[in-house]
Chain A
């Protein structure tokens, strides 16, 4: 190999590596922006519903910087099961069809596959935490609320009041779920 070919190939190899590195770093930045974009898009195109909840332990509401929430729809009667076969076992993915009501939305049924939601209805994905013959314990991924600064005290006051809280949840048409905030 003579000198001129070394000079011409070496920078191009290094250049290609450089290019790959930039793509890789750029892609990671895009992923982070994408997550923020997903939240924004859910805000924009998603349907908003309200769920009634209580902090799990009202006396000690602040676990670090988040609070644990237990929803009315976290425990559902097994008679609401609309899927085929037995009541779903632990770990199974299900959808809870909710209909609009005041103040909080109410459950219509629990499905094993995503049901078609009518007007003023939303299918919220959940996971079976425990299941007995009479009831289903569901996990929506909405059970942890990271507190925005300054809301801790207000939340604590509201929780001490036996009426509980309303949580605003957004569900995008493509399935993204977001806890938008707590109504105080």
Chain B
């Protein structure tokens, strides 16, 4: 309970006779105000002082003798880490993690500035990977989400820099990403970390395909690995953070095929992925099925519907219609699962997917062989029938649940 709450609500409690005026004063005394204000002052003072020193040093950096510059870097590094550890020991976690981050950033700046000071030529991203490794060790040591995301940013930056500047794909960086940050997420599958890792994985795989000049559609099986990792988590609900991005990517490709299915050159481009692509998808689906079975969610295997590589079919209306049906089937499966699990977010997602698929179908389609109106009438009737059936089933389930819950212990 905060002081402010007692201050605003207290007079009413006194007026209603719940507490006396004296008790209100005693309660307020339990939450002294000065403590926080006083705690904030040195922090602000320290921040101003730090900024002042930083700008002073930065302005005169080139003037300073080399050894003095090195000493300043080392001092800042050690001081930031020591202060961070001290703050954590006093249970001031945000401040402590913030100071440790300053230490980590100082390490990176130190690497760059020292190399620059001595005009050393770097031929690879080794130094930056060393920086990321330090961040990884800190993340594991302090179990901090902030340090995790900071390290992820540093690591992805290092991998990008390696390709951009040295024309080398950093497999060491990839190993750090998977073995360090990926494993960390797998052991502690929090939403935010899952999102972060997804983006990191997307970056690493995008760089890989770009570096080896491989067709970009390979991104789907590579992101599919992330999806499968989600299936192998102990709890199903934690998987969403890493499974949404792969599904979004697959949906985007499927939608492009539905929108441009008669464009032979686009399909040819996608087909460059070749037979290994189909094989990779089959392996992924099998691995996913095993994981889903362990989670008891084998029905969600329908997610793989949008991964179907329909672009291997010859360009034309058949591809478009099949792809649209695939998108509808996927939307239907998501809706179905949402109703089954009584999960509002999934129902909403399914609805949006359904609308998107309908929009695609409506504005698209050169309906040479099938009447457009017939397609929509058929779809509408199907949907209404489905909704009627679901509602009936819901009522049945509720009716069955009612007598069961009235006899507890009967299992």
Q: Kindly identify which residue among B111, B123, B167 contacts A90, using a CB–CB cutoff of 8 Å.
A: B167
- Asked if A24 and B137 make an inter-chain contact with CB atoms under 8 angstroms apart, the answer reads yes
Residue of B nearest to A181 (CB): B119
A28 and B138 alpha carbons, distance in the complex (Å): 12
B166 proximity list for chain A (CB < 8 A): 127
A149 sits at the interface (CB 8 A): yes
B138 proximity list for chain A (CB < 8 A): 24
Also in contact, A32 and B85, with CB within 8 A (given A91-B167, A127-B167): no
A13 sits at the interface (CB 8 A): no
A160 sits at the interface (CB 8 A): no
- Asked if B103 and A33 make an inter-chain contact with CB atoms under 8 angstroms apart, the answer reads no
Kindly identify, within residues 134 to 153 of chain A, every residue whose CB is under 8 Å from any CB belonging to chain B: 140-142, 145-149
Binary B-proximity of A97-137 (CB < 8 A = 1, otherwise 0): 00000000000000000000000000001010000000000
- Asked if B62 and A147 make an inter-chain contact with CB atoms under 8 angstroms apart, the answer reads yes
B73 proximity list for chain A (CB < 8 A): 32
Q: How many interface residues does B have (CB within 8 Å)?
A: 33
A interface, by DSSP: helix, strand, loop or mixed?
A: mixed
B137 proximity list for chain A (CB < 8 A): 24
Binary A-proximity of B279-300 (CB < 8 A = 1, otherwise 0): 0000000000000000000000
- Asked if B74 and A39 make an inter-chain contact with CB atoms under 8 angstroms apart, the answer reads no
Which of these binds chain B: A4-12, A48-56, A75-83, A171-179?
Answer: A171-179
A132 and B62 alpha carbons, distance in the complex (Å): 40
- Asked if B70 and A32 make an inter-chain contact with CB atoms under 8 angstroms apart, the answer reads yes
A-B contact pairs, 22 of them (CB 8 A): A17-B141, A20-B141, A24-B137, A31-B107, A31-B111, A32-B70, A32-B73, A32-B107, A33-B74, A35-B111, A35-B118, A35-B127, A36-B66, A36-B114, A36-B118, A39-B119, A39-B120, A127-B123, A140-B121, A141-B121, A175-B123, A177-B120
The 3 closest A-B pairs by CB, nearest first: A91-B167, A39-B118, A141-B121
